């Protein structure tokens, strides 16, 4: 961006309003300590020239357009440039073409590069009368390479690198800073002359280097600003004649820089600067920044050496990072294998996760974790509450998305997390289901940090107005900030391990589901066979038992007077046993029919069902006093025959176990929820202990001796089977000596 001439008193201040969108690669001008020509490669005709050729060579730039290069710098010098251009080495990155002596103008280093269809030749003042001798720098590079190859500490080799760069260039202050995941930077190594302020350990906000500048630093690794007080030399003509567009100066060493950056340098007390990019795997990992309090020019061969030092340093740092990464991956792999070994041995997934919880936390260096699976939320270690985890899962399902979601500042993305930032500022969640909100979530605690900035990062710029123009931040004094609500960031290897863990868990759960489905099929077939067997046996036993009862009664009637008391007692016992066996067979037959018979749901008035059941139970109770309290009951969808059997079993159960009370009080009531009709049968009988409640609805299970209360132990099992076939549920509550209440719920919408 080149500012037009202006008489405004603030004309020397750059406009920051478009700072982050400034096209810095096409500034239309260069720094004036050298000059630039854009030439046609085939005939070396000049297409563009920087305006300062007038000051340096005494030629008007317009007068050069269309003329051959030799007319400006001499045919011999043009031959040097032509020889360099003839090779295939000339690409976007500049190469050294040689030294050219242009009479009274002096000696210049010619540096060439191609970009698009344009061939650029830059001429920089040479501090000698001969071509640069790059061999003088070989020993420097060899010594540097040998030293860093044996150092495994990034901080240590960074310190060595800045000392070497300062020794080679002579800058007053050289420091190295690295970028974090937010693109903020921190100075980790520094060397300086007395009088220069130190920035070691301090941080610079990401806004100090706009995104387009970062991209350019990756493409062009060395950038020199010889004098911040320079006046830009525009290109003539302003547009590339071949394209009609601004000339791309991305790789030009003389490229004019943003006036915003120039003002930034002045505010920092820096007049000359040079930067060396440290690029690792295509990303700007860090930079070496050189500052000087006065103007300073660095020749091309020295800049080339610094570029080589930066590349060697980048490769060595990448090697150290990859070595540590590899070791960490191995440690993660060992933890993951140990965890999966525990999970694969268990028969039940949730129980296995409980047993493996220490390994689960160690895997991600987490202080807490949560398993959300099939309606359960199981917490391990230091975590938010179950309710808070539930809200987080809702947010994950609705907003975050993806198989893996992570944050080291959760409250910034999910504000309710501020309530539990102390234990869960960091969160890593993996989905373990493709259809349901099932997650494994790890938590990391808050790490309170004291961050020292080179100036308040919030004061990057002032709001422009008539009295004060908009300028880059002026203060670089140390400013401390307490950072809360953040945790240690999640390592890339940890994210990869989490995804691998997710895949393994899905495999384990799927294998278990298939295994359970197979068992369910096998159990279903066994139940069908058992029901058929029960039905056949029960049906076939009814006739012999009836014969036993009948012939026993006949013996008592005809031969009873001829038998003694013992004989009559034996006949009585035989008859009672046969009648009980017959009742048991009938109940078994009824139970087996529950699974064989189809339901025939219809609209059923439960008042009528209960009246019929109460009438039958009251007849069986004889002269006993029973106080019946029957509420108003709803009309529901059910199979009326099966439902009447279920209600009768519950009512007769209440009558039987309340016969020790005078009067017996039996209450039948109902309530409803949004989805269910719920019915209760309450009595004031002997009750039961809740520790045995799980046995009540099982076949042949009894909580009282047969001598006290008769029964086969099948009635309540029939109740549960009938209710469950309607898609409902049955349960009971009791207190010994105080009575019991048996309940069942029928859904308003029956399952198909």
Taking the alpha carbons of 89, 90, 94, 100 in that order, is the dihedral positive or negative? positive
Prediction pTM value: 0.62
Owner of token pair 């209600």: 647
Rounded-to-integer distance, Cα 249 and Cα 251, Å: 6
DSSP single-letter state for residue 389: H
How much is the average pLDDT of 176-196? 91
DSSP string, 525-566: HHHHHHHHHHHHHHHHHHHHHHHHHHHHHHHHHHHGGGS-HH
Q: What is the model's pLDDT at position 19? A: 52
Cβ atoms within 10 Å, residue 133? 9
Burial of 259 (0-12, 13-18, 19+ CB in 10 A): buried
Asked whether residue 145 carries a pLDDT value surpassing 80, the answer given is yes
Out of 155-159, 594-598, 748-752, which region has the weakest mean confidence (pLDDT)? 594-598
DSSP reduced 3-state for 372? strand
Burial 100-128 (b: 16+ CB within 10 A, else e): beeeebebbbbbbbbbeebbbbbbbbbee
How much is the average pLDDT of 734-746? 91
Structure tokens at 379: 């917490």
- The alpha carbons of the chain give a radius of gyration, in whole angstroms, of 45
Highest mean pLDDT (candidates 22-26, 134-138, 193-197, 343-347):
193-197
Rounded-to-integer distance, Cα 149 and Cα 171, Å: 26
Q: Provide the angle, in degrees to the nearest 10, between the axes of the packed helices 300-345 and 492-559.
A: 10
Structure tokens at 283: 């990303």
Q: What is the model's pLDDT at position 450? A: 59
Q: How confident is the model at residue 586 (pLDDT cuts 50, 70, 90)?
A: low
Within this chain, domains 24-125 and 134-323 share the same CATH topology: yes
Q: How confident is the model at residue 707 (pLDDT cuts 50, 70, 90)?
A: very low
Rounded-to-integer distance, Cα 51 and Cα 274, Å: 24
Asked whether residue 318 carries a pLDDT value surpassing 90, the answer given is yes
Asked whether residue 18 carries a pLDDT value surpassing 60, the answer given is no
Asked whether residue 463 carries a pLDDT value surpassing 50, the answer given is no
In the chain, domain spans: 24-125, 134-323, 346-490, 598-747
Rounded-to-integer distance, Cα 58 and Cα 45, Å: 19
Kindly state the helix (H) or strand (E) to which residue 382 belongs, with its residue range.
Answer: none
CATH fold of 346-490 reads Beta-Lactamase (3.30.450)
End-to-end CA, the chain: 73
CATH superfamily of 134-323: GAF domain (3.30.450.40)
CATH class entry, domain 598-747: alpha beta
CATH ID of 24-125, from 3.40.50.720, 3.40.50.300, 3.40.50.1820, 3.30.450.20: 3.30.450.20
Rounded-to-integer distance, Cα 424 and Cα 408, Å: 9
Q: What is the model's pLDDT at position 451? A: 58
pLDDT tens track for 534-580:
555 555 565 676 767 676 777 777 777 877 878 777 777 777 666 65
Rounded-to-integer distance, Cα 423 and Cα 139, Å: 54
């Amino acid at each position: 961006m080149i500012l037009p001439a202006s008489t405004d008193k603030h004309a020397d201040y750059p406009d920051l309003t478009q700072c982050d969108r400034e096209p810095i690669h096409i500034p239309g001008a260069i720094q004036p300590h050298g000059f630039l020509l854009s030439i046609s490669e085939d005939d070396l005709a000049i297409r563009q020239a920087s305006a300062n050729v007038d000051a340096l060579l005494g030629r008007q730039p317009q007068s050069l357009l269309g003329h051959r290069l030799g007319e400006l710098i001499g045919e011999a010098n043009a031959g040097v440039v032509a020889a360099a251009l003839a090779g295939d080495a000339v690409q976007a990155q500049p190469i050294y073409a040689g030294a050219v002596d242009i009479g009274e103008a002096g000696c210049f280093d010619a540096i060439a590069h191609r970009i698009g269809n344009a061939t650029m030749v830059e001429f920089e003042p040479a501090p000698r009368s001969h071509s640069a001798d790059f061999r003088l720098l070989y020993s420097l590079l060899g010594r540097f390479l040998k030293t860093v190859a044996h150092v495994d500490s990034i901080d240590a080799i960074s310190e060595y690198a800045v000392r070497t760069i300062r020794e080679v260039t002579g800058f007053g202050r050289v420091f190295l800073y690295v970028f974090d995941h937010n693109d903020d930077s921190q100075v980790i190594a520094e060397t300086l002359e007395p009088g220069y302020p130190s920035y070691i350990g301090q941080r610079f906000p990401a806004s100090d280097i706009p995104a387009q500048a970062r991209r350019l630093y990756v493409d062009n690794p060395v950038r020199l600003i010889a004098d911040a007080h320079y006046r830009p030399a525009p290109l003539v003509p302003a547009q590339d004649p071949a394209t009609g567009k601004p000339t791309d100066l991305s790789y030009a060493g003389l490229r004019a820089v943003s006036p915003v950056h120039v003002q930034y340098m002045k505010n920092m007390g820096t007049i000359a600067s040079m930067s060396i990019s440290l690029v690792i795997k295509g990303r700007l990992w860090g930079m070496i920044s050189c500052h000087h309090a006065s103007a300073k020019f660095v020749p091309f061969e020295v800049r080339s050496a610094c570029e080589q030092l930066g590349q060697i340093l980048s490769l060595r740092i990448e090697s150290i990072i990859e070595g540590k990464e590899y070791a960490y991956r191995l440690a993660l792999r060992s933890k993951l294998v140990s965890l999966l070994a525990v999970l694969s041995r268990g028969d039940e997934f949730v129980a296995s996760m409980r047993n493996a919880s220490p390994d689960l936390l160690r895997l991600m260096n987490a202080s807490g974790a949560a398993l959300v699976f099939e309606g359960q939320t199981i917490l391990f270690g230091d975590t938010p509450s179950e309710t808070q985890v539930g809200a987080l899962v809702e947010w994950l399902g609705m907003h975050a998305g993806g198989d893996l979601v992570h944050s080291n500042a959760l409250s910034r993305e999910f504000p309710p997390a501020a309530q539990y930032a102390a234990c869960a500022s960091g969160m890593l969640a993996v989905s373990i289901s493709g259809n349901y909100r099932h997650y494994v979530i790890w938590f990391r605690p808050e790490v309170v940090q004291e961050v020292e900035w080179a100036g308040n990062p919030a004061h990057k710029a002032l709001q422009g107005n008539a009295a004060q123009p908009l300028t880059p931040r002026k203060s670089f004094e140390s400013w401390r900030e307490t950072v809360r609500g953040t945790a240690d960031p999640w390592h890339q290897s940890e994210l990869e391990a989490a995804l691998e863990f997710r895949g393994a868990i899905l495999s384990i759960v799927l294998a278990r589901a298939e295994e359970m489905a197979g068992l369910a099929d096998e159990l279903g077939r066994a139940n069908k066979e058992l029901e058929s067997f029960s039905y056949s046996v029960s049906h076939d036993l009814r006739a012999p038992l009836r014969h036993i009862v009948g012939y026993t009664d006949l013996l008592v009637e005809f031969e009873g007077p001829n038998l003694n008391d013992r004989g009559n007692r034996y006949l009585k016992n035989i008859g009672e046993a046969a009648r009980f066996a017959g009742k048991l067979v009938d109940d078994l037959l009824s139970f087996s029919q529950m699974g064989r018979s189809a339901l025939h749901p219809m609209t059923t008035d439960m008042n009528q069902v209960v009246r019929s059941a109460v009438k039958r139970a009251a007849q069986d109770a004889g002269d006993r006093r029973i106080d019946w309290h029957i509420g108003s009951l709803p009309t529901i969808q059910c199979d009326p025959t099966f439902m009447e059997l279920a209600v009768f079993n519950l009512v007769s159960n209440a009558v039987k176990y309340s016969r020790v009370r005078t009067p017996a009080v039996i209450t039948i009531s109902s309530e409803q929820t949004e989805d269910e009709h719920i019915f209760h049968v309450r009595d004031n009988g002997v009750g039961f202990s809740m520790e045995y409640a799980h046995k009540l609805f099982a076949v042949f299970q009894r909580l009282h001796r047969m001598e006290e209360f008769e029964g086969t132990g099948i009635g309540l099992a029939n109740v549960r089977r009938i209710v469950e076939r309607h898609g409902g549920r049955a349960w009971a509550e009791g207190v010994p000596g105080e009575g019991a209440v048996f309940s069942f719920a029928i859904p308003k919408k029956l399952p198909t």
